[in-house]
A and B are shown apart, each in its own frame.
Chain A
């Protein structure tokens, strides 16, 4: 059974800092890994998707890396802004079997960026 863990559970930083969010997973036979952002009371916004054959993906100030063999991913946020405050969720997709694959989520990291 796939298990996804995110560390830290919460993070508070001053505006302008660079920060790293961590995600680990127990079953390395993943097809892809997605990072999502969730604002309070809202749905999920996909930030980055990394295929299992890739090592990293970048979008603006965000950079996500994947080390599939060790079961780890990091999300790097450069020059953080108050608007980055949200919960960040990591999810891994395991394909195969009769259920056409399953996305397993971590519990999330609650990020607060204060001015």
Chain B
């Protein structure tokens, strides 16, 4: 089945140690999104790629970076994780333009910072 895959599902990193989260998709969608969801909060958009065009949200900290080497893969890099970056990170994809603009979500990566 076509899907959005995130690896790893659980990631533990140390304070200040760079970490990379991975997202891949078999939907051939041209837009990929990264969301951060802290405990008991709504998902918050960090940034997204439209093809190779990177779009950063205004309030996304510089500590968060992203790479999209090809259509299928997108990475979230946290350069110096702080305790406040512990969260669920959700990847989503969509096709634009499209009739529905529906977003398809992966299972998420839960990041713990020690």
Q: Answer whether A and B are interacting partners.
A: yes
Q: What distance in Å separates the Cβ of B89 from its nearest Cβ neighbour in chain A? A: 10
Docked complex Cα distance between A22 and B105 (Å) = 22
Binds B, one of A62-70, A75-83, A97-105: A97-105
Q: Which residues of B contact A34 (CB under 8 A)?
A: 102-103
Does B108 have its Cβ within 8 Å of any Cβ on chain A?
Answer: yes
Q: Which residues of B contact A101 (CB under 8 A)?
A: 96, 101
Docked complex Cα distance between A106 and B43 (Å) = 8
Contact of A43 with B100 in the complex, beta carbons under 8 Å: no
Q: Which of A42, A105, A107, A108 contacts B107 (CB 8 A)?
A: A42
Contact of B55 with A49 in the complex, beta carbons under 8 Å: no
Interface size class of chain A, counting residues whose CB lies under 8 Å from the partner chain: 20 to 34
Docked complex Cα distance between A108 and B100 (Å) = 22
Q: Which residues of B contact A44 (CB under 8 A)?
A: 43, 90, 105, 108
Contact of B104 with A100 in the complex, beta carbons under 8 Å: no
The contact string, 1 if C-beta is below 8 Å from chain B, for chain A 82-115, is 0000000100010100111111011110000000
**Smallest CB gap from A108: residue in B:** B42
Question: Given contacts A32-B102, A34-B102, is CB(A43)–CB(B90) below 8 Å?
Answer: yes
Q: What distance in Å separates the Cβ of A64 from its nearest Cβ neighbour in chain B? A: 14
Sample of 19 A–B contacts (CB below 8 Å)? A32-B100, A32-B101, A34-B102, A36-B105, A41-B88, A41-B110, A42-B107, A43-B88, A44-B43, A44-B90, A44-B108, A46-B103, A46-B104, A51-B99, A89-B43, A95-B101, A98-B55, A102-B45, A107-B40
| Residues of B participating in the A interface, judged by any CB pair closer than 8 Å | 6, 31, 33, 40-45, 48, 50, 55, 88, 90, 92, 96, 99-108, 110
